[in-house]
């Protein structure tokens, strides 16, 4: 039977990670996969997480099953993190959240539930988006439509074209939005643009499906949540997939949440029962370890403030690398403008170079960049900036 299968090309982002690891050049630079690196190119475990881990070693008394929704305390704390303590939605009974295996697992459970609720719903995805959105959500059975998001030429959001397309979305369809730190462009919606999308959603009757994987890495934990907090106040239905991979550095622990806002508390209960049944039919229940750490960090005032300080350090380092790279490339001989990098947010921006230039960077200099020219700014550091600059200037010449 397996003779019928054809080999599948490795995922463009995770494949790059493998190729980078296999590269033996000492000067190599990883600007590929979206993983935080410190100024030494390391991806450390956050100290608050490490402390929670050592406490958990002592406190944990069982490894018995937790159930399809994961840890109830984690679910509550994640909703408070997403919406902010005191947000009116939290006491409305209209919002329910379950733990999911990472942001990807959350997206998939959300998609499956929406497909059950309304099989004819289409999913509208901005162009460009995280490349895995399409296989991940498409294989839930969605028909995917596109709306324009980023304009390569002006290096900013194509606001007019995006809003014009959203004004054509039929009632009951889903619109995928990035909560903050847009992946791959780093071009985030302003508050006014979020408000306008909410107006259009109300007018047209489409439902936002917000993917928020970088809360705290853009402008701050509170600031990065503007869109979903506002939509939670104004719209009858919203779906939010969130991840703790980046802001807690828990990548391999697969720690995420899928959160549903329904029109009434009764409907929210039904939706969450469907989400649990979906989980049961795919993976039964999410892994416990990462969520137990997150709930301990968020629930302990000392660990929480330590975590917030560490996250702020991460955010500011990535922001500083944006400035450093822009300054280094200013007035380059090729006359290329990289100033957009300094205006954008989170881990990513497009470099905007050509494919042959990108290939030269990898082959000749060991600098790994996703084929869309997306770079992870966290891969830049004070030790490699000069090499990166010289390599880039060479291929631009």
Question: In whole angstroms, how close is the CB of 256 to ligand LMR at the nearest point?
Answer: 11
Question: In whole angstroms, how close is the CB of 109 to ligand LMR at the nearest point?
Answer: 17
Question: In whole angstroms, how close is the CB of 50 to ligand LMR at the nearest point?
Answer: 22
Q: Which is nearer to ligand LMR, 13 or 221 (CB)?
A: 13
Give dist(CA 114, CA 165) in Å, integer. 22
Binding mask 133-172 for ligand LMR (x = CB under 6 A): ----------------------------------------
Give dist(CA 319, CA 314) in Å, integer. 9
**Given 130, 173, 307, 345, which residue is catalytic?**
130
Cite the DSSP H helix spans in the chain.
12-22, 47-59, 72-83, 102-117, 133-138, 159-166, 191-204, 226-234, 265-282, 289-299, 301-329, 340-343, 355-365, 385-396
Q: Please check whether residue 307 is in contact with residue 77, taking contact to mean a CB–CB distance below 8 angstroms.
A: no
Q: Please indicate whether residue 194 is annotated as part of the active site.
A: no
Q: Which is nearer to ligand LMR, 131 or 172 (CB)?
A: 131
Q: Please indicate whether residue 211 is annotated as part of the active site.
A: yes
Question: In whole angstroms, how close is the CB of 207 to ligand LMR at the nearest point?
Answer: 23
Q: Which is nearer to ligand LMR, 71 or 224 (CB)?
A: 224
Among 76, 92, 132, 371, binds ligand LMR (CB under 6 A): 132
User: Judging by DSSP bridges, how do beta strands 238-243 and 207-212 pair with one another?
Assistant: parallel
What letter does residue 186 receive in the DSSP assignment? -
Q: Please check whether residue 370 is in contact with residue 18, taking contact to mean a CB–CB distance below 8 angstroms.
A: no
Q: Please indicate whether residue 38 is annotated as part of the active site.
A: no
Q: Please check whether residue 77 is in contact with residue 292, taking contact to mean a CB–CB distance below 8 angstroms.
A: no
Does 34 bind ligand LMR (CB under 6 A)? Our answer is: yes
Residues that contact ligand LMR, how many (by CB under 6 A): 6
Q: Please check whether residue 96 is in contact with residue 266, taking contact to mean a CB–CB distance below 8 angstroms.
A: no
Going from the C-alpha of 19 to that of each of 15, 24, 41, 305, 345, the distances in angstroms are: 6, 10, 17, 37, 27
Question: In whole angstroms, how close is the CB of 248 to ligand LMR at the nearest point?
Answer: 14
**Given 71, 246, 307, 345, which residue is catalytic?**
246
Question: In whole angstroms, how close is the CB of 246 to ligand LMR at the nearest point?
Answer: 8
What letter does residue 208 receive in the DSSP assignment? E
Does 130 bind ligand LMR (CB under 6 A)? Our answer is: yes
Q: Please check whether residue 116 is in contact with residue 87, taking contact to mean a CB–CB distance below 8 angstroms.
A: no
Cite the DSSP H helix spans in 207-300.
226-234, 265-282, 289-299
Does 128 bind ligand LMR (CB under 6 A)? Our answer is: no
Angle, vertex CA 110, rays to CA 148 and CA 299, nearest 5: 110
Report the site for ligand LMR in 51-90 (rule: CB under 6 A).
Answer: none
**Given 96, 211, 307, 345, which residue is catalytic?**
211
Report the site for ligand LMR in 180-209 (rule: CB under 6 A).
Answer: 183
C-beta nearest to ligand LMR: residue: 34
| Residues acting as catalytic residues | 130, 211, 246
Q: Binding residues for ligand LMR, per CB under 6 A?
A: 13, 33-34, 130, 132, 183
């Amino acid at each position: 039977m397996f003779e019928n299968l054809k080999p599948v090309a490795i995922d463009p982002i995770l494949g790059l990670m493998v190729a980078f690891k296999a590269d033996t050049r000492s000067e190599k630079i990883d600007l590929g996969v979206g993983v935080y690196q410190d100024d030494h190119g390391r991806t450390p475990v956050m100290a608050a997480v490490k402390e929670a881990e050592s406490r958990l070693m002592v406190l944990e008394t069982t490894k018995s099953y937790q159930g399809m929704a994961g840890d109830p305390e984690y679910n509550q704390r994640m909703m408070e993190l997403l919406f902010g303590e005191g947000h009116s939605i939290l006491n409305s009974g209209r919002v329910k959240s379950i733990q999911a295996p990472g942001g990807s697992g959350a997206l998939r459970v959300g998609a499956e539930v929406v497909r059950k609720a309304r099989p004819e719903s289409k999913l509208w995805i901005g162009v460009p988006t995280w490349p895995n959105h399409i296989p991940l959500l498409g294989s839930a059975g969605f028909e995917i439509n596109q709306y324009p998001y980023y304009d390569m030429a002006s290096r900013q959001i194509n606001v007019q074209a995006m809003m014009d397309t959203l004004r054509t979305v039929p009632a009951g369809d889903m619109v995928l939005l990035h909560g903050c730190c847009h992946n791959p462009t780093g071009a985030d919606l302003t508050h006014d643009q979020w408000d306008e999308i909410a107006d259009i959603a109300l007018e047209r009757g489409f439902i936002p499906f917000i993917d928020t994987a970088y809360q705290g890495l853009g402008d701050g934990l509170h600031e990065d949540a503007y869109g979903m907090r506002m939509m939670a106040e104004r719209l009858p239905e919203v779906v939010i997939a969130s991840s703790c991979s980046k802001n807690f550095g828990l990548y391999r622990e697969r720690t995420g949440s899928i959160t549903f806002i329904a029109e009434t508390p009764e409907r929210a209960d039904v939706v969450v029962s469907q989400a649990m049944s979906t989980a049961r039919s795919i993976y039964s229940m999410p892994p416990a370890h990462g969520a137990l750490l997150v709930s301990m960090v968020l629930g302990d005032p000392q660990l929480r403030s330590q975590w917030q300080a560490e996250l702020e350090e991460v955010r500011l380092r990535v922001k500083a690398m944006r400035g450093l790279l822009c300054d280094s490339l200013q007035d380059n001989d090729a006359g290329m403008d990289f100033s957009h990098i300094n205006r954008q947010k989170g881990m990513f921006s497009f470099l905007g170079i050509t494919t042959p230039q990108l290939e030269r960077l990898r082959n000749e200099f060991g600098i790994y960049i996703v084929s869309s020219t997306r770079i992870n700014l966290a891969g830049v550091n004070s030790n490699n900036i000069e090499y990166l600059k010289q390599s880039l200037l060479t291929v631009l010449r």
